[in-house]
């Protein structure tokens, strides 16, 4: 006769599980995750996450920036973004009543000491001007070696409060600036990267390189150019024809490192995605696992306790649902319908109301039901439902608990897989969708390791935490694994 | 009218090999406030008798018949739901064997004692708990025990809890199914004293099921001896202990070791019979030292004996070549030297008569005849003796024919 399952209470099982090494490790990891879940809404409120997909929100961040701590692993000093808001400029405004002229000069100087070039340059300018003549905006780049380059001289397109945007690094869009920089560089006999027969060689200019490079032959070649360190300045000037004319500017020298987790192709702060991945993965994994395992356990208990046709039906349904491939079905559903994380959960529950837990619990109940106190309860006239809930359920609860902990990783992985395939929640950032984005942007090919490693680490951390806990429970509850 | 009257009770179980005749035509009466002890070896149908009365039946019941009159109510006539509501625990309750396992490990014993109250009377939790505590006190347990879990109690305490559980609805009758079998002797004595006390105080009737004759003597007013699904002897305990009538009862009594007196305990030869195909006639006859001609000898039994028989040659008779069973009553024996005439059967008959004294199976032979070259042995028809006696009944030819 098989040994009846040991009878342990949930509390007792938990206490014993925590006492094992793996249980302790799992418990600490889980506690860390939970702490993260608590801290996240404070650090990154939902209002930020809601606009995760909104590109306008992230314009101040550099693109493809590595985490700041990656600097520790190189001998070089890497630049962080330098953002100059309108208030950071020294502003001089002169109004001549005689000719009705207005002159505005904005100037900002800064020190550049990094060993590598910045990743991008961009400017926003808010211009106020009358209906008559359009003023001109002149941007001058002042270098530590005394060189001055006029990189912009044109009238604004829109009036404040809408800013005029000047993405200097997009040379196609800012071809006149690129041309000016190209011509300036040629005065140092610089070698262009453009093919000899190119009619628009300035499109090959990288302003963020050339403007920061030591003047000379290599200044147009981003592979060979050397960084010129020292005091730079940017001057933005407006010459207007009405007394009301005014100008404000914002300038960003984008760095190559950002935050604790870096950024992705759309300049999003990956830390926010990573942090929010924890509650999403945890909530999805725990809720899916809890609901599915509890339903399966109850049905397994019913199956084992009542037997007969109910047993037959439940077990055959479990066989059926165990062999149908879950992931392809979910993919098909996600392709045909717009599904959020809640709908995915619902589909999982419907397709998993019976399954392996039903079978495990049924086999336990088949042993429990032969025990004497069940016979005693039947003989004093207790109904079958009452016995199920009073005597059988309490016996299987600890096992159900262990099974919940053990199956959380599977659901975290499932959610990550769906998100990776782009079939997960369309709004919330999840670890799976971060990896999915990275994959489709060729992150590994380009060496954006942080984009992959950190969300993958998150998935690993969460699944290992639950697995360790689950194994600890298993050790306590499984009679064959009980350590003497 | 007796308090409990059981008449011609049958309980058979269906198995793949056939029907197991666990309780076969059992009848007894008992009075209110007395104890009837059912004693027998393991597997003789004692517990099945209790199951048949209390209807705690497994799924594979093949036959469940008879009359059970309790306080003039025909229990067998009640529907299952009615039986559950009116009889279970309100009138008859049961103390199961193996107190160690009769309590659910996951709930407090107070809850478990209160369970029948909650199930039957639909009492509120507090009220049921109060009554459960009172019942625990009735069986001599302090009330704080109610908040303990079974694993925190000793075996004797658990047994008391199980008894409290049986008494919580104040039934008139309690079936005690080996209530002390898992306990040590001192605790057994304690529990038996408790049961006696409760019986006196609450005028309980006990159907006490045990394999222990000594223990039965402590409690029993009446004693019933069961063997292979039959009640072979039933009578007042004192009489039965002093003058057992049935050979099985006698053998059972002789198998009990005694502290005083030089008599060594004796075992009963053979093994308990298979209840799917029990022996014909009296079921004890194959192991009985007294067995008579019509006790139920059948051709297969005799054939088995003859096949293993070598004494025929020793007696100077021709060896047996083959033994064929024709039917239950007829056996064909082919001898190495075929006897030619009736007269040559003489030595054989004398041999059989001689064997009758030592091997009871030969007593079943009614006569020998010649058929062709073979000897045909005809056996006596099995006849089951009816119970003999009025207050002390036993079913054995010994009582009608004399030793």
User: Is residue B184 domain-shared with residue B329, that is, in the same domain?
Assistant: no
Closest-CA distance, A472 to chain B, in angstroms, reads 22
Report the chain B residue with the minimal C-alpha distance to residue A308: B59
pLDDT in tens, B343-402: 667 777 777 777 777 777 888 788 777 777 778 888 888 877 778 777 888 888 777 765
Report the chain A residue with the minimal C-alpha distance to residue B169: A380
Non-local (6+) Cβ contacts of B152 within 8 A are: none
Which residue do the tokens 């005597």 mark? Answer: A391
User: Is residue B241 domain-shared with residue B330, that is, in the same domain?
Assistant: no
CB A249 within 8 A of CB A123: yes
CB B371 within 8 A of CB B365: no
User: Is residue B179 domain-shared with residue B87, that is, in the same domain?
Assistant: yes
User: Is residue B83 domain-shared with residue B231, that is, in the same domain?
Assistant: yes
pLDDT in tens, B35-93: 999 999 888 889 899 999 988 888 889 899 999 998 888 888 888 888 888 888 889 99
- Mark yes or no for CB contact B103/A373 under 8 Å: yes
CATH number, domain containing residue B191: 3.40.50.300
| Burial (0-12, 13-18, 19+ Cβ within 10 Å), B72 | exposed
B123-to-A18, B119, B156 alpha-carbon distances in Å: 40, 8, 28
Element housing A128 (H / E): strand A120-128
**Greater pLDDT, A105 or A424:** A105
Q: What percent of chain A has pLDDT over 70?
A: 97
pLDDT in tens, A17-30: 888 888 899 999 99
| A309 interfaces chain B, CB cutoff of 8 Å | no
Q: What residues in B contact A372, CB-CB < 8 Å?
A: 96-98, 101-102
User: Is residue B175 domain-shared with residue B86, that is, in the same domain?
Assistant: yes
Closest-CA distance, B148 to chain A, in angstroms, reads 14
Structural domain contains residue B239: yes
Mean pLDDT of chain A: 88
pLDDT value, residue A289: 94
User: Is residue B245 domain-shared with residue B303, that is, in the same domain?
Assistant: no
User: Is residue B10 domain-shared with residue B86, that is, in the same domain?
Assistant: yes
Structural domain contains residue B286: no
pLDDT value, residue B324: 79
Taking alpha carbons only, the member of A197, A256, A194 closest to residue A221 is A194
Residue B403 pLDDT grade (very low, low, confident, very high; cuts 50, 70, 90)? very low
pLDDT value, residue A39: 86
- Mark yes or no for CB contact A390/B101 under 8 Å: no
Residue A305 pLDDT grade (very low, low, confident, very high; cuts 50, 70, 90)? very high
CATH of domain A68-254: 2.60.120
**What stretch(es) of chain A map to CATH 2.60.120?**
68-254
User: Is residue B82 domain-shared with residue B177, that is, in the same domain?
Assistant: yes
pLDDT in tens, B117-168: 988 888 888 899 999 999 999 898 998 899 988 888 888 899 899 999 999 9
User: Is residue B244 domain-shared with residue B302, that is, in the same domain?
Assistant: no
Structural domain contains residue B263: no
**Greater pLDDT, A372 or B53:** B53
From the list A373, A379, A380, the residue facing B104 with the nearest CB is: A373
Rounded to 5 degrees, φ, ψ at A187 are -70, -15
- Mark yes or no for CB contact A379/B115 under 8 Å: no
Q: Is A184 helix (H, G, I), strand (E, B) or coil?
A: helix
Domain boundary among B254, B269, B287: B254
Residue B258 pLDDT grade (very low, low, confident, very high; cuts 50, 70, 90)? confident
pLDDT value, residue B151: 85
CB B172 within 8 A of CB B204: yes
| Burial (0-12, 13-18, 19+ Cβ within 10 Å), B346 | exposed
pLDDT value, residue B316: 66
Split into its structural domains, chain B has a count of: 2
What sign does the CA torsion over B395, B397, B399, B403 have?
Answer: negative
pLDDT value, residue B344: 67
Residue B262 pLDDT grade (very low, low, confident, very high; cuts 50, 70, 90)? confident
Segments forming the whole domain that contains residue B309: 297-379
Q: Is B371 helix (H, G, I), strand (E, B) or coil?
A: strand
Structural domain contains residue B114: no
Q: Which fold has domain A10-56+268-477?
A: MetI-like fold (1.10.3720)
Least confident of A77-86, B59-68, B281-290: B281-290
Report the chain A residue with the minimal C-alpha distance to residue B114: A380
Structural domain contains residue B57: yes
Q: What residues in A contact B107, CB-CB < 8 Å?
A: 390-391, 394
What residues does B26 pair with on adjacent strands?
A: B9
Per-residue HEC secondary structure of B188-248 comes to HHHHHHHHHHHHHHHCCEEEEEECCHHHHHHHCCEEEEEECCEEEEEEEHHHHHHCCCCHH
Torsion of CA B53, B54, B58, B59, to 10 degrees: 90
């Amino acid at each position: 006769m098989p040994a009846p399952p040991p009878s342990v209470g949930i509390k007792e099982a938990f206490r014993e599980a925590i006492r094992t090494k793996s249980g302790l490790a799992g418990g600490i990891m889980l506690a860390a995750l939970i702490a993260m879940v608590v801290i996240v809404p404070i650090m990154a409120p939902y209002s930020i996450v809601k606009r995760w997909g909104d590109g306008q929100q992230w314009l101040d961040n550099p693109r493809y920036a590595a985490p700041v701590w990656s600097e520790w692993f190189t001998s070089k000093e890497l630049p962080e973004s330098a953002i100059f808001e309108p208030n950071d400029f020294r502003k001089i405004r002169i109004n001549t009543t005689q000719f009705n002229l207005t002159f505005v000069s904005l100037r900002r100087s800064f020190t550049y000491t990094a060993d590598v070039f910045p990743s991008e340059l961009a400017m926003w300018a808010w211009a106020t001007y009358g209906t008559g003549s359009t003023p001109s905006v002149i941007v001058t780049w002042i270098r530590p070696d005394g060189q001055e380059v006029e990189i912009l001289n044109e009238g604004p397109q829109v009036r404040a409060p809408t800013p005029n945007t000047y993405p200097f690094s997009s040379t196609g869009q800012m071809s006149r600036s690129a041309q000016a920089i190209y011509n300036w560089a040629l005065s140092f006999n610089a070698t262009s990267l453009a093919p000899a027969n190119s009619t628009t060689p300035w499109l090959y200019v990288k302003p963020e390189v050339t403007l920061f490079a030591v003047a000379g032959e290599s200044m147009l070649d981003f592979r060979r150019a050397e960084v010129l360190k020292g005091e730079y300045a940017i001057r933005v000037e407006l010459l207007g024809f009405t007394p009301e004319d005014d100008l404000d500017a914002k300038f960003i020298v984008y760095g190559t490192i950002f935050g604790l987790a870096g950024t992705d192709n759309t300049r999003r702060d990956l830390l926010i995605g990573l942090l929010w991945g924890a509650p999403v993965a945890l909530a999805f994994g725990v809720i899916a696992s809890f609901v599915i395992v509890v339903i399966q356990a109850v049905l397994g208990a019913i199956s084992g306790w009542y037997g007969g046709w109910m047993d037959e039906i439940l077990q055959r349904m479990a066989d059926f649902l165990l062999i149908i491939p879950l992931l392809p079905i979910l993919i098909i559903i996600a392709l045909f319908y717009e599904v959020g994380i809640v709908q995915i959960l619902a589909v999982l529950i419907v397709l998993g109301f019976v399954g392996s837990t039903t079978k495990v619990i049924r086999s336990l109940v088949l042993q429990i039901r032969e025990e004497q106190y069940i016979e005693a309860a039947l003989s004093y006239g207790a109904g079958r439902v009452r016995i199920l809930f009073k005597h059988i359920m309490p016996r299987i609860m600890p096992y159900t608990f262990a099974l919940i902990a053990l199956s959380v990783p599977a659901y975290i992985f499932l959610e990550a897989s769906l998100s990776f395939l782009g079939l997960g929640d369309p709004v919330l950032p999840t670890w799976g969708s971060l990896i999915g984005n990275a994959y489709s942007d060729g992150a590994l090919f380009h060496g954006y390791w942080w984009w992959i490693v950190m969300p993958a680490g998150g998935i690993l951390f969460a699944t290992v935490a639950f697995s360790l806990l689950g194994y600890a429970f298993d050790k306590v509850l499984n009679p064959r694994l009980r350590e003497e | 009218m007796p308090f409990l009257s059981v008449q011609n009770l049958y309980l058979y179980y269906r198995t793949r090999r056939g029907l197991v005749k666990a309780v076969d035509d059992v009848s007894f009466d008992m009075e209110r406030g007395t104890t009837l002890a059912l004693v027998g070896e393991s597997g003789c149908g004692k517990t099945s008798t209790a199951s048949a009365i209390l209807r705690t039946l497994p799924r594979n019941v093949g036959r469940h018949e008879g009359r059970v009159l309790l306080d003039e109510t025909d229990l067998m006539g009640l529907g299952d739901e009615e039986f559950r509501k009116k009889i279970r625990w309100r009138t008859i309750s049961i103390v199961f064997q193996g107190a160690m396992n009769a309590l659910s490990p996951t709930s407090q014993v107070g809850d478990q004692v209160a369970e029948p109250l909650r199930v039957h009377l639909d009492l509120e939790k507090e009220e049921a708990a109060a009554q459960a505590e009172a019942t625990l006190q009735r069986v001599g347990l302090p009330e704080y025990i109610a908040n303990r879990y079974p694993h925190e109690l000793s075996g004797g305490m658990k047994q008391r809890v199980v008894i409290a559980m049986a008494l919580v609805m104040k039934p008139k009758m309690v079936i005690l199914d080996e209530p002390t079998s898992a306990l040590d002797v001192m605790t057994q004595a304690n529990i038996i004293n408790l049961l006696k006390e409760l019986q006196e105080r609450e005028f309980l009737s006990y159907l006490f099921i045990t394999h222990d004759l000594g223990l039965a003597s402590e409690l029993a007013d009446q004693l019933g001896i069961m063997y292979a699904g039959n009640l072979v002897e039933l009578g007042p305990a004192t009489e039965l202990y002093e003058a057992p009538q049935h050979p099985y009862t006698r053998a059972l009594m002789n198998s009990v070791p005694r502290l005083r007196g030089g008599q060594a305990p004796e075992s009963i030869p053979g093994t308990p019979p298979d209840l799917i195909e029990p022996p014909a006639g009296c079921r004890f006859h194959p192991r009985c030292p007294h067995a008579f001609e019509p006790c139920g000898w059948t051709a297969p039994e005799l054939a088995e004996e003859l096949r293993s028989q070598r004494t025929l040659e020793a007696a100077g008779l021709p060896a047996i070549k083959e033994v064929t069973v024709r039917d239950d009553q007829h056996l064909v024996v082919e001898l190495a030297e075929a006897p030619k005439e009736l007269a040559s059967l003489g030595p054989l008959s004398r041999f059989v008569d001689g064997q009758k004294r030592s091997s009871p199976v030969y007593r079943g032979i009614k006569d020998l005849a010649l058929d062709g070259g073979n000897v045909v042995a005809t056996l006596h028809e099995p006849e089951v003796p009816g119970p003999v006696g009025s207050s002390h009944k036993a079913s054995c030819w010994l009582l009608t024919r004399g030793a």
